Amino acid sequence: MSEEALHACLERHLKHAAMVFVLDDELGTRHGLSWADFVLLTVLDAAGGAVPATELARTLCTPASRLLQRLLPLEKIGLMERGVDGDGKRRIMLRPQGRRRLHEARDTAANACTT
């Protein structure tokens, strides 16, 4: 990797980190969510509210163990739940409270993304 490419990569990372900082602050203050929580709930909602755990981990580009760490607090506050479907696959399901919180948070996230 050339120095120029490395510099460009670092610049992108720092811009991304700054945006995540703003989104975490806004979403946390107004809705009790982090940006990572918001993304996870958005993926569940877009998939119709239920996704196999392995597919969710793959979509979020995260190891299954890290996904479980992120799911536990959301499950504890009633935004999503884990279960097993008829085929025996573990599924992550968005609860009505999770869908409601996600929809309430969308305008906040959209506004933060415009700054």
| Domain with 43 in it | 3-113
pLDDT digits (tens, 9 = 90+) for 77-90: 999 999 987 888 88
Q: What is the domain-level CATH number for residue 88?
A: 1.10.10.10
pLDDT of residue 33: 97
Dmax (CA) of the chain: 53
> Do 28 and 36 form a contact (C-beta atoms < 8 A)?
no
Q: What span, in angstroms and rounded, lies between the C-alpha atoms of 96 and 89?
A: 21
pLDDT of residue 40: 97
pLDDT of residue 21: 97
Q: What is the value of pTM for the model shown?
A: 0.90
- Count of Cβ atoms closer than 10 Å to residue 57 Cβ: 19
What is the count of structural domains for the chain?
A: 1
Q: What span, in angstroms and rounded, lies between the C-alpha atoms of 81 and 98?
A: 10
pLDDT digits (tens, 9 = 90+) for 91-106: 999 999 999 999 999 9
Contacts of residues 86-89 at CB distance under 8 Å and 24 or more positions apart, as own/partner, are 89/52, 89/53, 89/54
- Say if residue 1's pLDDT is above 70: no
